[in-house]
Amino acid sequence: MPAFGKEVKKASYNVAVFAPLYLDSVFANATDLPGRTMPRYVLPGLEFYEGVQLALDSLEKQGMALNVFVYDNKARQNDVSALIRNKQLDAVDLIIGAVSTPELKTLSDFAKEKQVNLISATYPNDGGITDNPFLLITNSTLKSHVEAIQEYVQKGFANRNVLIVRRNNSFEAKLAEDIKASNEKMAYDKKSRVREVIWSDATSESELSKYLLTDRPNLCIVTALDEAGARSIVRKMATLATTYPIQVFGMPTWDVMKFKEPEYAGVTLYYSTPYFNDKTDSYSKYINDYFRRTYKSRPSDMAFKGFEYTWYFLKLLQQDGMYFNKSLNREPLKLYTNFNFQPIYLKQGAETPDYFENKNIYIIQKGDSADYKMNALQ
């Protein structure tokens, strides 16, 4: 992109932040909160905003001049299309958005036209967007997750039996195809073949055991994203764990699932995530302390993400100006995530990236009291 070769630095930068605050719904009929507590659906967006604000305060104390405009993208008056149509975003130098469809596509089209970077902060999907190198996806796509899991099971175990356990639907069939395609492309002379198991609630232990081996780890990549499906499959595998060594690799949605009941004993569980924070660094302690003093509560991961993404990308803006894309991965600017942004080309032979995506995926082992980071795939 010609724009990436430019150096456009300013004395002060205009930044637009979009977060789902739902203020219209919360204060629909009054200025007081109903029941004097925030509804649960408001909290993720609100904590993301709080993290953003903390980062902005820190950056401004360091002397960075900023004009920041925060938009509740769930408010009627902040309809993204209307904001663009009324030219309210024309002067922005960077957009940070905790948005999903359809706002992501609308903002992406605008960012491409105006040649400003759009940071998609939370949505784990490209939303069908193509041909926009100004879009940066921090929350890795599902395709990247299954590729990273496949690579980990192949390289992380010396002797292995690799299975894809999926249900008979088009979505999970596509994930299985992505895993197999990743395996075929993998340049690793010790890789094992990947076999597919079509799962249903009627699948018996004896049917499942036909795919399992007793003399090596059975590494089962389960493509179910929903909790009911995941628990059903793991429960059935646990009945075979005394005979067959079974390790299950789940999807990124498994991060909030609990498998502590005795019926799941004997199965080692993993999941993938682009974000893992053990909260031992000084920035995390600062955020924790602020929430404890101000709200008498612990911040969720959304607050840490809001802080980190704002800090990281505004630091890039400060150092390189508007077009910091030529060097997106800066170890010195790291807070608690090892970003690995890579250009994504959806069509073979394309010269312009369709977008940039954070390809760093952590493999996490579920524990009884805490989860443990196994690696950071770059």
Of 256, 272, 288, the one marking the end of a domain is 272
123 and 226 together in one domain? no
> Is 372 within a domain?
no
Alpha-carbon dihedral 322, 325, 329, 334, rounded to 10 degrees: 20
193 and 93 together in one domain? no
Of 217, 248, 272, the one marking the end of a domain is 272
23 and 169 together in one domain? no
User: 17-26, 184-193, 231-240, 308-317: which range is least confident on average?
Assistant: 17-26
Binned at pLDDT 50, 70 and 90, residue 200 comes out as very high
294 and 322 together in one domain? yes
101 and 248 together in one domain? no
Residue 28 has pLDDT above 70, yes or no: no
> Is 376 within a domain?
no
Please tell me the total count of domains within the chain: 2
Binned at pLDDT 50, 70 and 90, residue 31 comes out as low
Which of 208, 219, 207 lies closest to 248, judged by CA?
Answer: 219
157 and 122 together in one domain? no
197 and 283 together in one domain? no
Interval 86-96: pLDDT, tens: 999 999 999 99
240 and 284 together in one domain? no
Residue 153 has pLDDT above 70, yes or no: yes
> Is 370 within a domain?
no
106 and 121 together in one domain? yes
194 and 322 together in one domain? no
> Is 232 within a domain?
yes
Of 227, 247, 272, the one marking the end of a domain is 272
> Is 167 within a domain?
yes
> Is 14 within a domain?
yes
Residue 228 has pLDDT above 80, yes or no: yes
User: 73-82, 243-252, 338-347: which range is least confident on average?
Assistant: 73-82
Binned at pLDDT 50, 70 and 90, residue 33 comes out as low
pTM over 0.75: yes
Interval 235-268: pLDDT, tens: 999 999 999 999 999 999 999 999 999 999 999 9
pLDDT in the model for residue 32: 55
- Peptide bond before 2: cis, by omega within 30 degrees of 0? no
User: 24-38, 113-127, 301-315: which range is least confident on average?
Assistant: 24-38
> Is 241 within a domain?
yes
Binned at pLDDT 50, 70 and 90, residue 378 comes out as very low
Binned at pLDDT 50, 70 and 90, residue 36 comes out as low
pLDDT in the model for residue 30: 53
pLDDT in the model for residue 375: 74
Residue 331 has pLDDT above 80, yes or no: yes
pLDDT in the model for residue 23: 80
Q: Give the max Cα distance, the chain.
A: 69
Residue 102 has pLDDT above 90, yes or no: yes
The CATH number covering residue 200 comes to 3.40.50.2300
26 and 112 together in one domain? yes
Q: What percent of the chain has pLDDT over 70?
A: 96
> Is 348 within a domain?
yes
Integer CA distances (angstroms), 200 to 84, 224, 235, 243, in order: 47, 11, 13, 22
166 and 267 together in one domain? yes
Binned at pLDDT 50, 70 and 90, residue 377 comes out as very low
Which residue range is the domain that position 325 belongs to? 2-140+278-360
**Mean pLDDT over each residue of the chain, to the nearest integer:** 93
